[in-house]
Amino acid sequence: MKEIRLQKYIAECGIASRRKAEELILQGRVRINGETVTQMGRKVSLNDIVEVDGKPVKMEKRKVYIALNKPVGYISSVKDQFGRKTVLDLVKDVKERVFPVGRLDYDTSGLLLLTNDGDFSYRLTHPKHEIKKVYEAVLMGVPSKDAIMQFNKGLQIDDYLTSPANLEILKSDGKISKVRITIHEGKNRQVRKMCNKIGCPVIKLIRVSIGNVSLGDLKEGSWRNLTDWEINSFLDER
């Protein structure tokens, strides 16, 4: 959570209305980290200990789960050493301090989940849960029957063998093909590497779903909260 004004903090903890909270502050009944505070401008974060009439007041850290449609040209991290735009620039209106669950390449667009729930993120990114991820891609060339079989069986990439994946040709003009690719892992640039391996490099890559969460008609650069059903569907995968 970012810093917020003391009276807002007290109100959001459900202690009093914001106006009443201002009165409490003026009356000298509020302390921050042991110090009585009577001015209104002070800001607090979740790390501060706020007391009203000697009793600590705490804000339950609200857990947030967000689906973002990441455009190309944003980096999936909280900060970038080269000063590029990050996905956090797209969720500035979210009060909580969220972070991306896994990643999408700078040049990939589509569904990216963000949360402030570390357990949730761990569960989704741990290979043992094998959460299904679906991509739509435009490829150079036309994947052969043999290439599709190799996708199913597993491809040797760098030092690992990919787990069974699926490639379905949606349409092709003989030179360029639109395909749907389903994988259950999330290794670095995995889809691009798999497509290179079968001789059909990726021209465009979009992630359209993760488990039961789909991009649907979410506009590029926009986000929405996950529904309870979507959140629970990941918890059920334990």
Strands 133-140 and 176-183 come out as antiparallel
C-beta of 131: minimal distance to ligand URA in Å?
13
Pick 102 or 141: Cβ nearer ligand URA: 102
Residue from 87, 83, 38, 84 nearest 66 by CA: 87
Cβ contact 118:64 at 8 Å: no
Pick 23 or 168: Cβ nearer ligand URA: 168
Pick 42 or 207: Cβ nearer ligand URA: 207
Cβ contact 6:43 at 8 Å: yes
Which residues touch 83 (CB under 8 Å, ≥6 apart)?
none
C-beta of 231: minimal distance to ligand URA in Å?
22
Q: Which amino acid is at 136?
A: E
* Site for ligand URA, rule CB under 6 A: 104-105, 108, 189-192, 205
Strands 55-57 and 50-52 come out as antiparallel
Pick 11 or 194: Cβ nearer ligand URA: 194
Which of 53, 89, 93, 105 is catalytic? The answer is 105
C-beta of 88: minimal distance to ligand URA in Å?
17
Residue 107 bears catalytic tag: no
C-beta of 193: minimal distance to ligand URA in Å?
7
Q: Which positions are catalytic?
A: 105
